[in-house]
Amino acid sequence: MTVSTERKMDPGRKVNWDFTYAFLALRFWLGVRALFVGIEKFGAYRSVAMPLMDPTTGQPDASGVMVNVNIKSYALANYAGIPAALRDKFSHQPLLPKFALVAFDRMLGPAFILTGIMLLIGLGTRLSLLAQALLFIALTVGLVLIDSSDGVAYLGIHIGLVAGAFLLAEHNKFTVLRKW
């Protein structure tokens, strides 16, 4: 092998690894984002009365004053795929049938969790990217119907990230199912 051939191969290898790292960054970001969006669907705040703490001593205030503190907890009973404020807006939208809204509400959190885990471990990467793209498109349709332009633009950025990941998917070197 000549010196000039070696020089030609090294830049090509670097670029391929750069594409691999770019894809991994997108894959992990989209995976973590989806996983935690899905988990947050099971979170809720509850108000708890606690004694006011004296900042100097760290003990409860001598006057016995109580303050309400919001504490976040996660449970299956807390699940809300679509936030209550948006659900009310969607329920008044004639283009969204009630059965479709209920089905979408029930599957949204688990779908995000599943696609997030799939992306993180590299199981069916292209399928999970496609599923996320379809989720983002469905969310976009809903936000267009209730005239939430800010949310639509935000989801457009996510679609761009998924599209970028699709363009780089051929450089996915760390995966469980490479074809899918």
**What is the DSSP track for 105-135?**
HHHHHHHHHHHHHHHHHTSSHHHHHHHHHHH
Which one has a higher pLDDT value, 3 or 68?
A: 68
Q: Is the separation of the CB atoms in 37 and 154 below 8 Å?
A: no
163 and 90, same structural domain? yes
Residue at 6 is within a domain: no
86 and 67, same structural domain? no
Tell me, what's the pLDDT at 179?
66
Tell me, what's the pLDDT at 5?
42
Per mean pLDDT, which range of 67-81, 86-100, 154-168 is the poorest?
A: 86-100
Q: How many domains does the chain have?
A: 2
Domain that holds residue 65: 43-78
55 and 111, same structural domain? no
- Asked if pLDDT for residue 34 goes beyond 90, the answer is yes
152 and 120, same structural domain? yes
Tell me, what's the pLDDT at 127?
93
Tell me, what's the pLDDT at 68?
87
CA 145 to the chain's CA centroid: 22
164 and 135, same structural domain? yes
33 and 67, same structural domain? no
- Is this structure's pTM higher than 0.85? no
